[in-house]
Structure 1
Amino acid sequence: MNLNFIKKALFVFVFSFFYTNITAQSKQVLWYNQPAEFFEESLVLGNGKMGATIFGGANSDKIYLNDITLWSGEPVNANMNPEAYKNLPAIREALKNENYKLAEELNKKIEGKNSESYSPLGTLEINNSEKGKAVNYHRELDISNAVSRVSYEMNGIKFTREYFVSAPDQIMAIKLTSSVKGGLNFDITLKSLLKSNVEVRNNILVMTGVAPIHENPGYTVLPKYLEVKERGTRFTSLIQIKKTDGKITSSRESLSLKDATEAIIYVSVATSFNGFDKNPAIEGLDDVSIALQKLNKAFAKPFNELKETHIADYQKYYNRVTLDLGKTTAPDLPTDERLLRYSEGKEDKNLEILYFNFGRYLLISSSRTLGVPANLQGLWNPYLNPPWSSNYTMNINLEENYWLAENTNLSEMHLPLLSFIKNLSVTGKVTAKTFYGVNEGWASAHNSDIWAMTNPVGNFGKEDPSWACWPLSGAWLSTHIWEHYVFTQDKNYLKKEGYPIMKGASQFFLGWMVLDKNGNLITSPSTSPENKYIAPDGFIGATMYGGTADLAMIRECFENTINASKVLNIDNEFRGKLEKALSKFHPYQIGKKGNLQEWYFDWNDEEPQHRHQSQLFGLFPGDQITPLKTPELAQAAKKTLEIKGDETTGWSKGWRINLWARLWDGNRAYKMYRELLRYVDPDGKKTEKPRRGGGTYPNLFDAHPPFQIDGNFGGAAAVAEMLVQSNENEIRLLPALPDSWETGNVKGICARGGFEIEMSWSNKKLDKTLISSKIGGKTTLIFGDKKQDITLKKGETLEINW
């Protein structure tokens, strides 16, 4: 045989193997040919409490540090406006008299303080002593193992850095290497935007400080609030270097390493936060000793041991779900270029998968601290005055953060939200009485913070009721409790934790609702989140009665509470009250345009394409409107979406994709999914023709704009919703599969009833399905016009060939 032929064949094999396995487009790796210049280009790591934002510079590497428990403020005084409820009769009288302008002004009297703000902890910088031009630069984040890497060559030396933030060991580790002995020469500095002190003690770089105690009305923190002594949450950050060779030196505020070949930097952070109802200054945790204990334990372990433990812990969650959407012809490109190419309408199935996987990565990385859920920016905030205080916005955004928790098999990551709702139910009892005059149950409003603030915001009458006056979040949030139960079938959780909170939310709304002139139950006053109507006399306002969104959310809350009482076989009398109330609800109304009315009357919106689509709650995330069960309402919901159009903010796109999926319109859902992945320039980048609007930044962060993480979570949840939809009795497979995903397979998607699905399809037809049950149960599988009733024992798996 010709030797040259063998050589050529071997070359082709090796090249094709390398290209396929090394440089083929990844579903798991974000990578770039240059360091990040802007926050929206950085790569983020987190363990659910500590967050790191990595820029990956060659001469100087900047890393923002966060701790999810570091907020301004202290436990809220829920009794801040004890007589606010006394204004309700006058508001209701004005509404009854159709004096909407007066009602709007009076509604401001039912406002309290604004929320506190999520604070940045500090910035770590690694500055190289030798400067030069970096070549062969590569920066990446591998979301299959939650490890980031940077490599480059400078002056003939190859440098590498490897970063991860460990949940088991509660530290960040950074490994630096040089290809030439003694090539590492750098110093480390720490600084904070908050009041802080930096010093070196025993070769440990120590930063201690305190968060401000007061969020200034208007969403800004003024410097004077940093000066209040003996108040606020303390924080500590400790940094220590472990070297193989070379010499560690220090100055008053920096650590240095000279002539080393390999080194590991250990970063430990802690705060004094000790719960929503504990004063962090006088009842707080000992942040210094906690940070030191974590540092010492981790420092004693080899880097590889820390890394292996970290990866094993992370992959325990991440590896539960895999998705493949068939062959792709897209070229291998850096992620920013890939996103730009995709924005031009080109095919890139693996980018669509990467975005889905990235959503799951972000939830694992930002939601593992009980009582402290992922906020508007998840875990990653570099700003003293973050957008919207980086708070918990509960008229959609906080809930959207958790739409993917159960169906993408991350139920444990739901627990920080569920435990936070329990905190809200405590402060919310005071809010229900003092702001709304309801003596049973609990209420929460539009915004909250780490202190479980539940009052309506608005700076005591200075803000617009369209967003400030909205007491419905308890209804929406309580649906998450029921979702957790129906997915996990955890009856013990429902009995001990969940049901009492659901009941409390329902009790409040029983006391809050009033009868309209037709004898139907409505809310009064009512607003539809952040939207405004145009009254017949031309008045533009928000305060009204009987808003569709209110009634949809309360209906879902009541129905879930009824179902929970049946599962637990308790509270028959209370269940009867809810059932009686439901029978009297003001019904959904279809307007003259064929749309689902947002307002009690068929009035126009001030902004017809408004980003909120709260009146469609019953379609998604609720379960009241479906194409089969309520075809007329489903058609009205579709018309509403058509009127609103597809051009909107990032998080709103995420919601609309889910809504189109629930209407079983896979191609429209896919169109919007593509638009969600439209490239958006970093906020601070100056270009001749800047690409702005809702979409995705170069690092795959969601662009509201600015960055809000809810669009990432909503978009990832929508992918699962396109593939599997379920309720307590049935599971619908591939209900909204777009033509572009004609072939694929998915493993690990969860369905209500405690089931897990694995399936493969080709030409949009199911080939096979594996369904397993976590605790045993019955369901009906549906694919197209085919149905199959199944009963499974605990742990049993059934294969179905369609």
Structure 2
Amino acid sequence: MKKYLVVLVFLSILFPDDLCLAQSTNTLWYKQPAQYFEESLVLGNGKVGASVFGGVTTDQIYLNDATLWSGEPVDANMNPEAYKNIPAIREALKNEDYKLADQLQRKIQGKFSESYAPLGTLFLEFDQKGDPQNYRRELNISEAISRVSYELNGVKYTREYFISYPDQMMVIKLTSSKTGALNFGVKFESQLRNKVLIVDNELNVNGYAPMHAEPNYRGNGPKAVVFDENRGTRFSTLVRIKSADGILSATDSVVKLSGGTEALVFVSIATSFNGFDKNPATEGYNAEFLASEQLQKAFPKSFDALKKAHLDDYQKYFGRVSLNLGKTTAPNLPTDERLRRYALGKEDKNLEVLYFQFGRYLLISSSRTPGVPANLQGIWNPHMRPPWSSNYTTNINAEENYWLAENTNLSEFHMPLLGFIKNAATTGKITAKTFYGVNGWTVCHNSDIWAMSNPVGDFGSGDPNWANWNMAGAWLSTHLWEHYQFTRDTKFLKDDAYELMKGAAQFCLEWLIEDQKGELITSPSTSPENKFITPDGYQGSTLYGGTADLAMIRECFMQTIKASEILNEDVKFRNKLELALNKLHPYQIGKKGNLQEWYYDWEDAEPQHRHQSHLFGLFPGNHITPSTTPELADACRKTLEIKGDETTGWSKGWRINLWARLLDGNHAYKMYRELLKYVEPDGVKTDYVRGGGTYPNLFDAHPPFQIDGNFGGAAAIAEMLVQSTEDEIHLLPAIPDAWNSGSVKGICARGGFEVSMVWKNKSVRKLSILAKSNGKTTLYFGSVKKEIDLKKGQVFELNL
């Protein structure tokens, strides 16, 4: 709390008028309970997730666990001779027979990923009648606490919910202003196989996830969801009520409290998941024992002690960054009404800050389980067969989830993805050999908790334009380098990152072949989910020398070379990478002035397609910039102009970052506003095109809900304020006119630096740079260029 007071004093001096405004930068609130999932308020401790509806008569809470998925460890050797088809595909491409190449690509496919499962729903059922008054439902993201309050028949009822990381426990506090007026029951339901028992007034649930769950787009066949009582991940949920004055009782499935004034509900959850390579049924943890152990440790503690431990843990991360975007005159409204007003073009700078901080809140809440990163929906999913299996879609979405980890000062929460990369490289070595006939490792279009790495498509039924993409190893490896760039953790680079980076580069090195000009290309190649049109009118997916492939390979090679130099090892391999890098087929600018996506200057089947993978070098890569490669940067700009701004949620998040890298703050801001466009919940049928935007609870609307837009949008705010390379920091590189004055504290830059600054009239007035490691960099802002060389812990300050 001291940090917050310091920040408030700091901001009150700079912006005395702003702090008098009522609308919040850290609280979502509503005048009614949630009716739909996309209105619920979500909580999480990085493993357990809850979606709270806040109903009056019945409060339903969807529960999830990050480690509860269908399936079991993948057989990576599922198609051992697939690689034997590669020469025939390359021959078809050499003959420019793209239709045959597409047909043959289907032989380079394996199974689909497994699905993220819903654990179940907890119901709080209240013995209350009448119409509530003064209802309020809120989520305070600076505390990671949700609250509900209302008055009924002269009694004020309150609820307070949080999920503690230190105690691995969901805690709900219920109170009534009148002694003995609290009467409620607790029950549990699940779509998974489960048994509910009541033991000494404690609700005990034990169950298991499906052996397999088909992707939701595969139809409702007889084996869409397969349960086997001897296979699959086990889960346990224990619920116990603590009350000083109420009377506990139970039926066969409900625990009740009668005549209470205050009560605590403890919810303990565990699964048998014991790693991507361990059978959860035969080698897994004892879920019931773990859940019981957690409950036994937490139950004796007071609410105040539990809450303090939760706040101390959460706020040390969330409080690292504060943002003020200047004076606002927006009125104080519930969040859903704020979104509707904002969609009309009204000003609400604090809503823009709230969305940024909500992205950081979601990452802290969904990414704290080693080797289990946030999935397509973070950790919040009510569906047995969620959209796109709620898996790790590694041709953009899984990576976009982590674009904000380093620059918004949440480096620790990057670690689940970095650990997952090590798991994926294990199966990925087999994929590289059996599907592509080369060494190293790679991952393809989809993965899951079992670190599946093969190309998907169900052994031939998938369209190659999405099923056969194989460059996720190169893309994922860049996250290892980014973590090093921001932390300067040489031990991590040496012990954890380098061999993985080298393995990804090795795959690419051996996968490349020479084209007719002697330049290195990939063959076969696809560009994620997009199609080309050949001069004879064929719409195809498979080609050679796709720009996206080569962009990712460039970044992978450049980073691996630098890592090798820093560690002073692997000179021979480094030399191979340097030679290959110089021989890569270069970027091409098309007749429209755009950056070509294809080897030839072909037309796109969908000119406004949501993917822009061939712009990887501009963002999230770093080798295309307006200053170092102006012609390529201009071609990227033209590509974005052709694509237009109307696209899905996650794609908007990516495009905002791309416009920021092009130093066009006003265009980035325009798209940020569009990302916050109000979208009705999925259950509300509307007669207009819903498009990408934001649901009432601030979830990203692809639609449906995908969390990557939240993360990409939050990352883009940091990118508009600070951009950096290994030896440069640019301040306010893409600041829009709308943010003429403001301040930020705690944004991170490559090189191991932390930036805090105040700006007015889009110019830096006060600056503080903290070195988190020894290092030097060059600062650029306005016409100022300043070299600094700091020891760890030193601070550079400047007042203008």
Bin of the TM-score, shorter chain as denominator length: over 0.9
Contact 2:652 2:675 in 1 (8 A): yes
Aligned to 1:241: 241
Contact 2:213 2:226 survives alignment (8 Å): no
Correspondences of 1:362-381 after superposition (within 5 Å)? 362-381=362-381
CA distance in 1, matches of 2:201, 2:18: 46
Q: Corresponding residue for 2:680?
A: 681
1:264 maps to 264
Work out the CA distance in 1 between the residues paired with 2:238 and 2:159: 19
Shift of 1:219: 4.7
Q: Distance in 2 between matches of 1:602 and 1:123?
A: 53
CA distance in 2, matches of 1:177, 1:787: 58
Letter paired with 1:172: M
Query: Match of 2:186, as an amino acid?
Result: I
How far has the Cα of 1:307 moved from its partner? Answer: 0.4
Deviant stretches of 4+, over 4 Å = 19-23, 217-226
Displacement of 1:539 after TM fit? Answer: 0.6
Contact 2:115 2:214 in 1 (8 A): no
CA distance in 1 between partners of 2:426 and 2:706 (Å): 28
Asked whether 1:495 is paired with 2:491, we answer no
Correspondence 1:84-95 to 2 at 5 A: 84-95=82-93
Query: Do the aligned partners of 1:679 and 1:691 also contact (CA within 8 Å) in 2?
Result: no
How far apart are residue 664 of structure 1 and its match?
Answer: 0.2
Q: C-alpha offsets along residues 492-511 of structure 1, whole Å, 9 cap, x if unaligned? A: 01100100000000011111
Report what 2:444 is aligned to.
445
In structure 2, distance between residues paired with 1:474 and 1:691: 36
Residue in 2 that maps onto 1:660: 659
1:86-485 paired onto structure 2 within 5 Å: 86-216=84-214, 218-219=217-218, 225-438=225-438, 440-485=439-484
Determine the structure 2 residue equivalent to 1:620: 619
For the structure 1 residues 496 and 222, does the alpha-carbon distance in structure 2 shift closer, same or farther, using more than 3 Å as the test?
Answer: farther
CA contact (8 A) 1:194 1:226 kept: no
Paired letter, 1:179: S
Q: What one-letter code is carried by the residue in structure 1 that aligns with 2:44?
A: G
Opposite residue 296 of structure 1, the aligned amino acid is Q
Q: Pick from 709, 713, 718: which aligns with 1:711?
A: 709
Measured against aligned partners, the alpha-carbon deviations of 1:336-364 in whole angstroms (never above 9, x if no partner) come to: 00000000000000000000000000000
Q: Deviations over 1:209-263 (max 9, x none)?
A: 1001113365568776544121000000000000021200001111000010000
Cα distance in 2, alignment partners of residues 543 and 419 from structure 1: 32
Match of 2:146, SS state, is: strand
Within 5 Å, which residues of 2 pair with 1:720-735? 720-735=718-733
Contact 1:85–1:436 under 8 Å retained in 2: yes
Residues 120 and 189, structure 2, Cα contact 8 Å, conserved in 1: yes
Name the amino acid aligned to 2:728: E
Report what 1:33 is aligned to.
31
Contact 1:781 1:790 in 2 (8 A): yes
Contact 1:195 1:226 (8 Å CA) reproduced:
no
Aligned counterparts of 2:685 and 2:792: Cα–Cα separation in 1 = 58
1:566 match: 565
**Aligned amino acid, residue 25 of structure 1:** Q
Confirm or deny: 8 A CA contact 2:763 2:782 kept in the other structure: no
Letter in 1 for 2:500: I
Residue 578 in structure 1 maps to residue 577 in structure 2:
yes
Which amino acid in the other structure matches residue 665 of structure 1? D
| 1:774-793 paired onto structure 2 within 5 Å | 774-793=772-791
- Deviation, 1:193, is 0.5
CA distances 1:653-692 after superposition (whole Å, capped 9, x unpaired): 00000000000000000000000000000011135x4561
Alpha-carbon distance change, 273 to 527 in structure 1, aligned in 2, over 3 angstroms: same
Alpha-carbon displacement from aligned partner over 1:384-421 (angstroms, at most 9, x marks no partner): 01000000000000000000000000000000000000
2:212 partner SS: coil
Residue aligning to 1:538: 537
Tell me by how many angstroms 1:97 deviates: 0.2
Q: What amino acid does structure 2 have at the position aligned with 1:247?
A: I
Write the distance in 1 (CA, Å) between the matches of 2:514 and 2:591: 25
Deviations 1:536-578 (A, max 9, x none): 1111011001000000001000100000011111101100000
Taking structure 1 as reference, are residues 728 and 275 closer, same or farther at Cα in structure 2, changes over 3 Å only?
A: same
Q: 1:533–1:606: 8 Å Cα contact kept in structure 2?
A: yes
- Three-state SS of the structure 1 residue aligned to 2:213 is coil
Matched, 1:746 2:744: yes
- State how far apart, in whole Å, the 1-side matches of 2:419 and 2:401 are: 15
Q: Deviations over 1:355-380 (max 9, x none)?
A: 00000000000000010000000010
C-alpha distance after superposition, 1:135-186 (max 9, x if no partner): 1100000000100000001121110000000000000000000011111111
> For residues 174 and 411 of structure 1, what CA distance do their matches in structure 2 show?
30
8 Å Cα contact 1:220-1:385 kept in structure 2: no
Q: 1:221 to 1:275 in 2, by over 3 A?
A: farther
Where do residues 766-781 of structure 1 align in structure 2 (5 Å cutoff)? 766-781=764-779
Distance 2:695 2:345 in 1: 17
- The residue number in structure 2 matching 1:632 is 631
1:592 partnered with 2:585: no
Contact 1:694 1:705 survives alignment (8 Å): yes
Q: Alpha-carbon deviation of 1:208?
A: 0.8
Displacement of 1:436 after TM fit?
Answer: 0.4
In the alignment, residue 300 of structure 1 is paired with which amino acid? P
Partner of 2:602: 603
CA distance in structure 1 between the partners assigned to 2:517 and 2:208 by the alignment? 56
The root-mean-square deviation of aligned C-alpha atoms, in Å, is: 1.2
Find the aligned partners of 2:608 and 2:652 in 1 and give their Cα distance. 12
Distance in 2 (CA, whole Å) between partners of 1:658 and 1:86 is 40
One-letter code aligned to 1:615: H
Once the two structures are TM-superposed, the CA of residue 784 in structure 1 deviates from its matched residue by 2.4
Q: CA deviation at 1:132?
A: 2.1
Task: Go from structure 1 to structure 2 and tell me whether the alpha carbon gap of 1:271 and 1:220 turns closer, same or farther (over 3 Å shift).
Answer: farther
Output the CA distance in 2 between the equivalents of 1:255 and 1:477: 47
Q: Which blocks of at least 5 consecutive residues in structure 2 are unaligned?
A: 1-16
Q: 1:691 to 1:346 in 2, by over 3 A?
A: farther
Q: Deviations over 1:450-483 (max 9, x none)?
A: 0000000001100100000011000000000000
Task: State the Cα distance separating 1:39 from its structure 2 match.
Answer: 0.4
Post-superposition CA distance 1:698-733 (Å, at most 9, x none): 000000000000000000000000000000010000
Q: Residues 568, 772 of structure 1: CA spacing in aligned structure 2 closer, same or farther, 3 A cutoff?
A: same
Q: Percent identity?
A: 68
What's the counterpart of residue 11 of structure 2? none
Partners of 2:649 and 2:382 in 1: how far apart? 20
- Is the 1:523–1:546 Cα contact (8 Å) retained in structure 2? yes
CA contact (8 A) 1:219 1:385 kept: no
For structure 1, the 5+ residue unaligned runs are 1-18
Paired AA for residue 621 in structure 2 = G
The answer to whether the Cα contact below 8 Å between 2:213 and 2:385 also exists between their aligned partners in 1 is no
TM score, norm. by length of structure 2: 0.97
Residues 607 and 642 in structure 2, CA contact (< 8 A), matched pair in contact too: yes
Contact preservation (8 Å) 2:18, 2:326: no
Amino acid at match of 1:508: F
Indicate the residue corresponding to 1:5 in structure 2: none
Number of the residue aligned with 1:794: 792
Classify the secondary structure of the residue corresponding to 1:583: helix
Asked whether the equivalents of residues 221 and 385 of structure 1 are also in contact (C-alpha less than 8 Å), the reply is: no
